[in-house]
C-alpha cells in the first residue's frame, strides 16, 4: 500500500521560491490524491504487494489509471527530497564530473534541464537521468518518468501547473530557473547518481 510521507521540511521552508500555499496544496491535496487513488486501483490487481518501482514499471502501458497514480506517487516521493531550503549550491564532486562529461559544463546542464521543462507541452516533468552510464536531460508527459524509458531518474522538476501557478502564474521558465538555481538538494541527487552508476 502507498502512504503519504511527511514533507522533509516546513511548508514555508522553500520560500520565496516555492510558497507554503503551493506546498500545502501540492503535498496535502495532489500527492494525497495519487496515494488514495493508487491504493484503490492497486487493491486486487496483479501488482498488489509489489514494490513501488515494480508497480510503476509493470503497470506502464497495461493499466493507465494505476500507472498514472503510482507513477506520480513515485515522482512526488522523490520530488520533496529533490528540494531543500537554501538549495542549489555546489554539486558533489563525482556528480559534477559526470555532468561536465555529459553536457560540457554545469551551466549547459542547467540550460538543457530548463529547456526540457519549458518544451514539455502540457503537464509533465523535466529530468536528469542516468542512461548507459551517462547523465542526460530529458522530459516526460503526465506521470511518466525515465524509469519507464530505460533510464534511472536522479533529479526531476514537476512542471504540472499545480507546482508553480500560485507562485509564478504562467511563467514556467522562471519557475524552472528558480528550481535549478535555488531549490535543488544536490546531495540527494548525488546519492541517486551513485546508486545508479554502480
Question: What residues line the site for Mn ion (CB under 5 A)?
Answer: 158, 160
Tell me the residue number closest to Mn ion, measured at CB. Answer: 158
Spatial contact of 35 and 2, defined as CB atoms under 8 Å apart = yes
- DSSP three-state, residue 92: coil
Q: How far is the CB of 157 from Mn ion (least distance, A)?
A: 10
Nearest-approach distance from CB 94 to Mn ion, in angstroms: 29
Residue with Cβ nearer Mn ion (67 or 103): 67
What minimum distance in Å lies between the beta carbon of 97 and Mn ion? 31
Residue number, 108 or 165, with CB nearest to Mn ion: 165
CB of 81 to Mn ion, least distance (A): 14
CA distances from 155 to 64, 118, 172 (A): 24, 16, 17
Sheet holding 124-131, edge to edge: 134-141, 124-131, 152-158
Q: Which is nearer to Mn ion, 71 or 102 (CB)?
A: 71
Cα dist from 30 to 24, 27, 74, 161, 197, whole Å? 9, 6, 13, 12, 32
Cβ nearer to Mn ion, comparing 160 with 168: 160
Amino acid at each position: 500500500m502507498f502512504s503519504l510521507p511527511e514533507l522533509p521540511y516546513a511548508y514555508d521552508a522553500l520560500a520565496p521560491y516555492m510558497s507554503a500555499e503551493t506546498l500545502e496544496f501540492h503535498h496535502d491535496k495532489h500527492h494525497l490524491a495519487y496515494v488514495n487513488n493508487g491504493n484503490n486501483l492497486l487493491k486486487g490487481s496483479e501488482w498488489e504487494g509489489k514494490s513501488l518501482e515494480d508497480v510503476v514499471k509493470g503497470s506502464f502501458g497495461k493499466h493507465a489509471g494505476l500507472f498514472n497514480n503510482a507513477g506520480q506517487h513515485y515522482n512526488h516521493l522523490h520530488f520533496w527530497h529533490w528540494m531543500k531550503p537554501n538549495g542549489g549550491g555546489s554539486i558533489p564532486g563525482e556528480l559534477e564530473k559526470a555532468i561536465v562529461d555529459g553536457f560540457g559544463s554545469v551551466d549547459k546542464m542547467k540550460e538543457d534541464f530548463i529547456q526540457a521543462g519549458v518544451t514539455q507541452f502540457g503537464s509533465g516533468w523535466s529530468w536528469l537521468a542516468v542512461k548507459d552510464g551517462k547523465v542526460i536531460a530529458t522530459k516526460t508527459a503526465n506521470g511518466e518518468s525515465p524509469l519507464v524509458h530505460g533510464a534511472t531518474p536522479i533529479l526531476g522538476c514537476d512542471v504540472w501547473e499545480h507546482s508553480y501557478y500560485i507562485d509564478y502564474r504562467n511563467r514556467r521558465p522562471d519557475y524552472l530557473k528558480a528550481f535549478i538555481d535555488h531549490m535543488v538538494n544536490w546531495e540527494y541527487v548525488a546519492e541517486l547518481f551513485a546508486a545508479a552508476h554502480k
